[in-house]
Amino acid sequence: MENYNIEDVVMIYGHKAIIESIQNVENVKSEIQPNKIYVGKYVNKKGYSDGTYRKKKIYTPQNDELVILCSYNSIKPYNEEESACTMIQKMFRGYQGRKSFHSFVCCTVWRKFDHIHEYITLNNHDEIYKPLIKTIKRDIKKGIIQFPSKCFSSNSNQFSRVSTTSYESSNYNENVPRLKDKIDRTFATEMFHFFLTSKEIILPYNLVHKVLIKTKKMLEENIKSSVINLDMSKKSKDTKLIILGDVHGQLHDVLWLFNRFGIPSSTNIYIFNGDIADRGENATEIFILLFIFKLSCNDSVIINRGNPECSYMNEVYGFYNEVLSKYDNTIFDLFQNIFELLGLAVNVQNQIFVVHGGLSRYQDITLKEIDELDRKKQEILHPEQYEDIVIFDLLWSDPQKKEGIGGNARGNNCITFGPDVTEMFLKNNNLDILIRSHQVPKTLKGIESHHEGKCITLFSASNYCNKIKNLGAAIIFNQDLTFEVQEYMSPSLEVIRETFEENQKLREKVLHCSKIVELEKNEQKNNNKLSTEGLMNDIINCLSTIICNEKNSLWNNLYKQDKDKKGVVHINIWKEEFRKVEQGEKGTHGYICVGN
């Protein structure tokens, strides 16, 4: 054991230091010399410390001294080479830590601005959109506005080009599987392989139209209530249930999951918990693929309705434009007809409640009451009636740490629900757990636990919007409801296709599995290397919009604070005035907590 004395040159945390003092202090956390504190003065490092240990002054440093108070365990004999290596490692870890923190902050702020956009969207719907559409429809009826009727969609309330594509068109991509009268498992498997292997994946109009018509008819005949009951005890012992959260039009996630966990079947059941539409580029293809599997085997796929599965949200967040870029308003209207037929929740064996958003502000509501809701409504964004409010809450609410019901940054009508609300709902309905989706977990993982594990957030769009770098997740239940959570980072469509082609040549399944793990690790590494430039650009654009909208109030308030009239104020004054402006706008953006 080394003995250190005053004026010895030593190394503390990689830095060269001189021992200035050795003090006896009780309860020092050290296996060796537990009652001694060493005061080391850094040789080549400037700064200031007050020489206090646990609120007790044990050393008074000179003005230009930077001292460190440490136990025996933190001291080593000075070695120039080891010191250099330690400092290099320390600087690299510091860089990695700062980079990781910067990325985390950017992602957090980006998600909050995303909520701001939702707030504005909901606000504009009531204040601008509805009155404008009402005026347009009135003028159409009076003949003030005249145009071919096919240019206006009654469901989307949008003008568009008229499709010249016939339902009977035979302009098939030669690689697209041929649609027959009956959609069976063979056709569904062929369609899955088509998406896996083809670069041109836009499907022919007549195929999409027929699939949507068949799906609409099937849902009308089979889904009679708002809650779908799934009893796993009646399934075979080898049956799996795979629950997924938001996928947001990210086809690569869906293909990767099907490739990894198996395609849907009667013994490999998938629940998609809403938010398939919007933001991503391939929601159309995802829906059609899921509908085809469902048509081939009704029990293989269950789709809950999410908050974007309505016409107005589709127009704002991209699904409408996606459909119009590929097809026409007829197809879009068919999608809307299907959305209103989707169930609101799934009750898995009277133990697991799966819903997109969360629970209702009406805390004594029962499963039976939810089941009896009239879900067949195009959009409910400003609910007033009891039934509409419940549906809105199921699609839009989020969990909170505090008890009770709280406000929600997503909009004036949106709520958050506390642990007591979750506890009451589960207890009153003899359920064990709530699984919901609707938001990226704050940890940037694919799954997050709330309310002592009784409420779970599940999100399945990995690297959301190709910016957030979050993991996606799936919960896989066995027939006896034992389960495992699988997190992943899906590769791009191009990489998935290359891998699939390689795996066709592989004979051993072990090689295939190891390849999957390798690809996910590589994708995570690649995403970690990506800069946050895209996120920062989005944040700056959103912040600029808010500042421009509130520039008069901001200018007046900041001018008053500029006592010396130099045109400059302290950053803390800027933060406070920005916060005041936000609160003046009914809290529209106040939850951003600028500067926290």
Q: What is the pLDDT of residues 184-218, one digit of tens each?
A: 999 999 999 999 989 889 999 999 999 999 999 99
Q: What is the pLDDT of residues 422-434, one digit of tens each?
A: 999 999 999 999 9
Same domain? For 380 and 346 the reply is yes
Are the beta carbons of 272 and 247 closer than 8 angstroms? Answer: yes
Residue 150: per-residue pLDDT = 42
Q: Which two tokens stand for residue 383?
A: 């609910």
Q: Is the pLDDT of residue 512 over 60?
A: no
Position 29: which residue type?
K
CATH number where 190 lies: 3.60.21.10
Question: Which of 82, 2, 86, 4 lies closest to 38, judged by CA?
Answer: 4
Range of the domain at 506: 493-527
Count the neighbouring beta carbons within 10 Å of the beta carbon of residue 6.
Answer: 11
Alpha carbons 415 and 424: distance in angstroms, whole number = 17
Are the beta carbons of 380 and 344 closer than 8 angstroms? Answer: no
Same domain? For 292 and 378 the reply is yes
244: which strand partners? 272, 474
Residue 485 within a domain: yes
User: How far does Cα 425 stand from its chain's mean position?
Assistant: 25
Position 102: which residue type?
H
Same domain? For 425 and 551 the reply is no
Alpha carbons 270 and 577: distance in angstroms, whole number = 49
Question: Which of 545, 556, 525 lies closest to 592, judged by CA?
Answer: 545
Same domain? For 371 and 332 the reply is yes
Alpha carbons 418 and 456: distance in angstroms, whole number = 13
Same domain? For 505 and 520 the reply is yes
Residue 189 within a domain: yes
Q: Could you tell me which residue, 480 or 59, shows the higher pLDDT?
A: 480
Residue 574: per-residue pLDDT = 84
Residue 467 within a domain: yes
Residue 517: per-residue pLDDT = 61
Q: Could you tell me which residue, 289 or 65, shows the higher pLDDT?
A: 289
State pTM to two decimals.
0.74
Residue 160 within a domain: no
Residue 2 within a domain: no
Q: Is the pLDDT of residue 224 over 80?
A: yes
Residue 171: per-residue pLDDT = 52
Are the beta carbons of 336 and 174 closer than 8 angstroms? Answer: no
Count the neighbouring beta carbons within 10 Å of the beta carbon of residue 286.
Answer: 22
Alpha carbons 204 and 215: distance in angstroms, whole number = 17
What are the DSSP E strand ranges found in 376-432?
398-399, 405-408, 411-417
Are the beta carbons of 397 and 416 closer than 8 angstroms? Answer: yes
Specify the number of domains making up the chain: 5
Same domain? For 290 and 393 the reply is yes
The last residue of one of the domains, among 437, 470, 490, is: 490
Distances 12 to 6, 49, 78 between C-alpha atoms, Å: 14, 15, 8
Q: Exposure pattern of 546-559 as b/e (b: 16+ CB <10 Å)?
A: beeebeeebeebbe
Weakest-pLDDT range from 240-249, 330-339, 365-374, 574-583: 574-583
Same domain? For 69 and 215 the reply is no
Residue 526: per-residue pLDDT = 65
Residue 503: per-residue pLDDT = 64
Count the neighbouring beta carbons within 10 Å of the beta carbon of residue 250.
Answer: 27
% of residues, the chain, pLDDT over 90: 45
Residue 154: pLDDT band (50, 70, 90) is very low
Same domain? For 339 and 224 the reply is yes
% of residues, the chain, pLDDT over 70: 82
Q: Could you tell me which residue, 303 or 105, shows the higher pLDDT?
A: 303
Question: Which of 302, 400, 421 lies closest to 355, judged by CA?
Answer: 302
Question: Which of 470, 467, 465 lies closest to 487, judged by CA?
Answer: 470
Residue 165: per-residue pLDDT = 43
Q: Which residue has the tokens 């056709």?
A: 187
Same domain? For 446 and 414 the reply is yes
The last residue of one of the domains, among 30, 49, 79, is: 79
Q: Is the pLDDT of residue 500 over 90?
A: no
Are the beta carbons of 26 and 58 closer than 8 angstroms? Answer: no
Contacts of 179 (CB under 8 A, 6+ apart): 187, 206, 207, 210, 211
Residue 160: pLDDT band (50, 70, 90) is very low
Same domain? For 126 and 213 the reply is no
Residue 164: per-residue pLDDT = 40
In this prediction, residues 138-146 reach a mean pLDDT of 70
Alpha carbons 278 and 461: distance in angstroms, whole number = 12
Residue 161 within a domain: no
Residue 168 within a domain: no
Are the beta carbons of 424 and 401 closer than 8 angstroms? Answer: no
Q: What is the pLDDT of residues 522-532, one digit of tens each?
A: 666 666 555 66
Count H helices and E strands in the chain, helices first. Answer: 17, 23
CATH number where 22 lies: 2.30.30
Same domain? For 102 and 63 the reply is no
Same domain? For 428 and 552 the reply is no
Angle, helices 319-326 vs 283-296, to 10°: value is: 80
Q: What is the pLDDT of residues 404-420, one digit of tens each?
A: 999 988 888 899 999 99
Q: What is the pLDDT of residues 13-71, one digit of tens each?
A: 889 999 999 988 876 666 677 778 888 888 878 777 788 877 788 888 877 778 888 88
Residue 165 within a domain: no
